[in-house]
Structure 1
Amino acid sequence: MGCAASKRSRGRGNSKKIRKPKPWRHPEPITRTQLMQMRDEFWDTAPHYGGQKEIWDALRAAAEAELSLAQAIIDSAGVIVQNVDLTICYDERGARYELPKYVLSEPINLIPEN
C-alpha cells in the first residue's frame, strides 16, 4: 500500500507533459488564410488516415486549445503521447496519429495580409 504522493498513484504512466512544437519554417512564406486552409484540409481528411474519429476530434481540440487545456484534453481522451509536441501520438488500441506542425503552431515565416 502506498501513500497518496507515491509515484504509482499519480496516473497511468503514459501521460507526458505536452509542449508547443519548436519554431519551424514553411518552404515558402504563407498567409494566415493559407495556413488556415491547410489546417482545414488536414482535419477534414484526418479520419481517413485510420484511427478513431473521437481521438482525431480530441487531437484537433487539443491543437486549437491553450497548452494547459490541451493537456487535459489529451489526458481525458486516453491519448498516448510519443512526441511531447503532439506530432506523434497513439490511442489505447495502438493506432498511430501523426500531426503536421502546421496544425499545432504557426510558421516563423507567416506573412501579414493586407
Structure 2
Amino acid sequence: MGCAGSSQSKADGTEKKIRKPKPWKHPQPITRTQLIQLRDEFWDTAPHYGGRKEIWDALRAAAEADLTLAQAIVDSAGVIVQSSDLTVCYDERGAKYELPKYVLSEPTNLIRDD
C-alpha cells in the first residue's frame, strides 16, 4: 500500500502519456554539432545532479527513441512522468529528474554545419 498519488498508473486507468516537447528556440542559432555537444555534456554530467544512474540511463534512452518506445522505456523503468514532454520526472523513491528541451528535440533555429 502507498499513498493515493504515488503510482504512475491511476485506478481509472489513466496515466501520463509522453509527447514531443512544444517547438522551442535556442537563444542563438545553433548547429547540429553544437547541439550534439550540448546533449553529450548534459548526459555526461546528469548523474552528478542526484538520482540514480539507471534512471538517467533510461531517460536518455527514452529521449533518443520514438514516442512508442520511449513510453515503454519510462514505464518499465518505473519513471513517474510529471510533464508529458519528459522535462520533469521522478523515480519511485521521489528523486526529481529535470531534462532540458535540447536533449528531447531540436530547436526551431537549428542551422546547417559548414
State the TM-score, normalizing by the size of structure 1.
Answer: 0.88
| Runs of 4+ deviating beyond 2 Å | 11-15
**Percent of pairs with identical residues:** 80
Q: State the partner residue of 1:76.
A: 76
SS of the equivalent of 1:42 reads helix
Q: State the partner residue of 2:93.
A: 93
Q: Is the 8 A contact 1:78 1:91 kept in 2?
A: yes
Larger Rg: 1
Q: Distance in 2 between matches of 1:50 and 1:80?
A: 16
Q: Distance in 2 between matches of 1:15 and 1:33?
A: 36
RMSD across aligned positions (CA) = 1.3
For 1:1-114, what aligned pairs fall within 5 Å after superposition? 12-13=9-10, 15-114=15-114
Q: Is the 8 A contact 1:39 1:103 kept in 2?
A: yes
Q: Distance in 2 between matches of 1:54 and 1:17?
A: 21
Q: Which has the higher helix share?
A: 1
Aligned residues: 104
Return 5+ residue gaps in structure 2 as ranges: 1-7
